[in-house]
Structure 1
Amino acid sequence: MTTVQAPADRPSTDADHRLDALLLERWERDPALPAIIHGDTVLTVGELRERVLRTAAALRAHGVRAGDRVVIHHVRSVEFVVAVLGAMFAGAAHAALGVDDPPQRTLRAVRDCEPRAVLTNSTLRERFSGVSDVPGLPGLPGLSDLVVLTDEECAAYPPTLEPVREASDTSADDPVAVIYTSGSTGRPKASLISHRALVSRITALQTTHRMDERDRMLHHTVCTFDMHLGELYWPLLAGATVVIAAPGRHRDADHLAELIRDQGITTVYFGVSQLELFLLTRDPAERYDGLRQVLTGGEVLGPELVRRFHARSTASLTNIYGPSECTIYCTAWVLPRDPDLDTVLIGPAIQDTELWILDENGTPVADGEPGELYIGGAGVALGYLNRPELTAERFLDAERLPNAPAVSPHCRLYRSGDLVRARPDGALEFLGRADRQVKIRGIRIEPGEIEETAKRCTGVRQAAVVAHGSGAEKRLAAFVVPETGTEPGSLPSSVREALRTWLPPYMVPSAIEVADELPLTPNGKLDRRLMETWAAKRSAESAPARPVSRAPADTAAGTPADADPDVESVVSEVWCEVLQVPTVGPDDDFFDLGGDSFKVLRVVETLRERLRADIPLAALLLEPTAADFSEELRRIMAHGPTD
């Protein structure tokens, strides 16, 4: 079964498919329009153009050329946007690395990316300067010769168009972005996104969800998720304004609601969990009719959430689907305002896209039957950076699909690993994964990467990682087999500490169990289903008993209303209840223990009642360890929350 969307009006020249040429043409029309708003800073189109060209000139002066890569290491800010665009105008592909990731993971990505330069700020540049070796990463070459430029240094260069002229004869099939995702071998993999692919996706978005100079789009998606490309390039090419959320507050529903209201946001993308949290956090009577269009995706969207959104906004809600290997999205479905909606689809193919549903032999399935989704068209990535074997495995040329003769000549298909079923009108229903990949709070995770990292920990002979639970309650659990002579009692804590230094918080399992051996199926493979059962059972057993009732806040636990509460004890008690863990230590991280956006809401609401304090959601998001969060609560109770 296949579904195809042809382009509306395919441009005929490479320049029409290159972002630098398209942006310059757009900017020359309206230099006085606001391009970016961040806090009190308003950058006009002309000012943005000048800063971007200065950055491009600095990169070119330091040897950056077409086909090179530039690492962007900035917090969410005007400087981040300028760096991304400056790298593109210099002819390079940008690779944005999260500033909150462990330094070793960042440097490992730098080694894999092999950039010509890094754009960062003066505070963060020390992470890249003078590095000759990194503990725990044998064989990591020195990075002391890496060009590291700050935004202040770039500002000293003239805003020349020379980089654009030098790139004028380059191809629209040159890479413009490098998007890292978790890899099953223990090594993150990076999709290479071309100018042509990204222009195709922005064109598709603009065709169905048009924006113009009157619109404002919120930029709050983390830089390691490919939707940040849509949040930047789409509004800038449409003449709309990019409104940037404050660093560290992309999960803070209070902050986002304030921006939507005060800045007149008309277009926003929410991950499904974030949309759920947003609606749960705000006053049920609060409406968002200023919004014109909302896009969501990244996780399975339920009908009840759709109904709750429609009840509070006149904006359209569109469910989009697509792995980063296909550049932001490849299907879309505008949700009907149907109170009896029972299934949320991921939609038909967008323009410039071919979708095939094939069986295990690569043969198209019968109409309405489930199968694996293969994706083709202009948005398909160039492949994986420096991973020819993996590229050959996942990106298939038409001649390698002899059982699917209707594939367009010279078409490349990406094998998604997702199971879908087509409805008679061509819209697809998402059925799950065909491999081990999981999503935790909307982020793609390969358990194999965590397993390979755990095996590097001292005292670990074997490791297996599984996910258990569903929806907001889905968690990762690790089982480790100790080496001979290793004290098993101390292994979970040492493994956890090691994983925290190598992996981002969302990849550190909430539970780490020691096993004498890993269970096997009768045919000798790891019995992951049994480990999932173990993990779910032990999670339930370790959950503390929840009180049936609680005294009013002013007399809780026999404490007089005017007594100074033991904040650390209250925080520990509430975390244990919400996270279902037996104990909490002062250095424990809320998200490492299995916290997510929904649990943040539950914790803060409970603490507001028990401590009788106006606690903002951002307090826990910005101070996620028990000790730091408790200290922040004491400050809030003494002086009130800060803006």
Structure 2
Amino acid sequence: QPKCVAVAHGALTKHIQAAGALYRYTPADRALHFAAFTFDAGMEQWLAPLCHGAGVVLGFSGWTGEDTLQALMAHAVSVIYPPTSALLHLADAVAARGQTLALRIACVGGEAVSSAALAKIRAGLRPETIINGYGPTETVITPLAWQADNRALTGYAPIGTALGERTLYILDADLNPLPLGAVGELYIGGPCLARGYHGRADLSGERFLPDPFAADGSRLYRTGDRVRFRPDGVVEYLGRADQQIKLRGYRIEPGEIEAALRQLPGIADAHVLLCEENGRRYLAAYWQAGPHDPIPTDAALKIGLAARLPDYMIPARYVRLDQLPRTTHGKIDRRALPVPEAPAPREQQAPTNSTEVVLVQLWQDLLGRQDIGIDD
């Protein structure tokens, strides 16, 4: 990714103060620092607790789930914020051992958090508070945060309200503000906004736009995230605008399919891609099994999804992985996902009556191909 030009130190200081107020650090707290020091959110994870008198326990990238669990217990860690995927594995490990951690806060983030993942973290780790932190690198660390409540959720967890001196808008394609409940794109401004991309004036102009609601020359960052305001002012995340798929005339949000997959028995995590083979485009679902659940078949997954989604959103192929590939920041590594294997060719069913003969002939003429049977 293009590197962002750094923001002023004063703005960063104000953000660290706001983060400390969010987490309510005390000298009794021990925070587990799990991210690379080159990761922008990593700065918040070690600087905020130290600036508020708390201790920091350093984790290491090579740690297993067992290593993490031992460190949490040995150092009485009270605040953790590893990637969501790591928290889910930790919840499984704790549940398998029947142990209880003295966690005050578990912070999720780094990627969209499904309601199912949130419920699993709450049940397995039993923290006093769960915080969902949201923030593109361009907005420097965490411009929005949401403290989980007891509302029943579907889809993704909300991303919250502005943290510190931030401005945020939900706008339509013409940069007009949208009312409560209307879906638009999230724009973020404020003193912590990056100044642009180094050496990329074209890309900077595309993503960093003049704030149409300010007269001081400030700018807004166009996040590319589809969101809406709840009646209480909390921002709900609905998916990426640039990851929408158009397939067979339908606009499809992969996140909706992923959320439906995670609700099925035996699914711990899932990711959906649009793939192409011999000119044909199709949806592929990559999924990771839960540690103790029976392994579902492809047919069972299709039946389960059919009860939750329309037909055009049902993936054509399913790929089970021991572990979904992740980047060093804990996000899905899309480039590392394998190409789905083609299904075994099935025997073409020939027409059995005059009506089927006419229908098959019509489709053969229309599509210019002969490999069409009555089941296609």
TM bucket, shorter chain: 0.5 to 0.7
Alignment of 1:232-251 (within 5 A): 232-249=46-63
Match of 1:331 in 2: 144
Match of 1:282 in 2: 94
Q: 1:591 to 1:433 in 2, by over 3 A?
A: closer
Match of 1:470 in 2: 258
Q: 1:301 to 1:390 in 2, by over 3 A?
A: same
Asked whether 1:432 is paired with 2:246, we answer no
Match of 1:536 in 2: 284
Alignment of 1:299-310 (within 5 A): 299-310=111-122
**Pick from 37, 60, 66: which aligns with 1:254?**
66
| TM-score normalised to structure 1 length | 0.40
Which structure 1 segments of 5+ residues have no match?
1-181, 183-187, 439-466, 480-512, 520-529, 541-545, 549-575, 581-589, 596-643
Q: What is the CA–CA distance in structure 2 between the aligned matches of 1:547 and 1:284, rounded to whole Å?
A: 18
Which structure 2 segments of 5+ residues have no match?
246-253, 260-268, 288-293, 297-318, 324-332, 339-376
Asked whether 1:266 is paired with 2:68, we answer no
Match of 2:11 in 1: 197
Q: 1:385 to 1:591 in 2, by over 3 A?
A: closer
Q: What is the CA–CA distance in structure 2 between the aligned matches of 1:421 and 1:209, rounded to whole Å?
A: 25
Match of 1:346 in 2: 159
8 Å Cα contact 1:579/1:594 also seen in 2: no
8 Å Cα contact 1:197/1:327 also seen in 2: no
8 Å Cα contact 2:273/2:284 also seen in 1: no
Match of 2:182 in 1: 369
Match of 1:412 in 2: 219
8 Å Cα contact 2:23/2:105 also seen in 1: yes
Q: What is the CA–CA distance in structure 1 between the aligned matches of 2:89 and 2:209, rounded to whole Å?
A: 39
RMSD value, Cα:
3.5
Q: Read off the aligned partner of 1:328 and give its amino acid letter.
A: I
8 Å Cα contact 1:197/1:381 also seen in 2: no
Q: What is the CA–CA distance in structure 1 between the aligned matches of 2:194 and 2:235, rounded to whole Å?
A: 22
Alignment of 1:77-92 (within 5 A): none
Deviations, residues 433-454 of structure 1 (Å, cap 9, x unaligned): 111499xxxxxxxxxxxxxxxx
Tell me the SS of whatever aligns to 1:196: helix
Q: What is the CA–CA distance in structure 1 between the aligned matches of 2:84 and 2:207, rounded to whole Å?
A: 27
Q: Read off the aligned partner of 1:473 and give its amino acid letter.
A: A
Match of 1:445 in 2: none
Q: What is the CA-CA distance between 1:211 and the residue it aligns to?
A: 1.4
8 Å Cα contact 1:254/1:282 also seen in 2: no
| Percent of residue pairs identical | 31
Task: From the two aligned structures, give the one with the greater helix fraction.
Answer: 1
Deviations, residues 136-191 of structure 1 (Å, cap 9, x unaligned): xxxxxxxxxxxxxxxxxxxxxxxxxxxxxxxxxxxxxxxxxxxxxx3xxxxx4445
Q: What is the CA-CA distance between 1:283 and the residue it aligns to?
A: 3.0
Q: Read off the aligned partner of 1:261 and give its amino acid letter.
A: M
Q: 1:341 to 1:354 in 2, by over 3 A?
A: same
Tell me the SS of whatever aligns to 1:416: strand
Q: What is the CA–CA distance in structure 1 between the aligned matches of 2:72 and 2:165, rounded to whole Å?
A: 32
| Bigger Cα Rg | 1
Tell me the SS of whatever aligns to 1:296: strand
Tell me the SS of whatever aligns to 1:221: coil
Asked whether 1:320 is paired with 2:123, we answer no
Q: What is the CA–CA distance in structure 1 between the aligned matches of 2:295 and 2:34, rounded to whole Å?
A: 38
8 Å Cα contact 1:220/1:245 also seen in 2: yes
Q: Read off the aligned partner of 1:228 and give its amino acid letter.
A: G
Q: What is the CA-CA distance between 1:478 and the residue it aligns to?
A: 7.3
8 Å Cα contact 2:171/2:186 also seen in 1: yes
Match of 1:216 in 2: 30
Deviations, residues 416-462 of structure 1 (Å, cap 9, x unaligned): 11111001211011111111499xxxxxxxxxxxxxxxxxxxxxxxx
| TM-score normalised to structure 2 length | 0.65
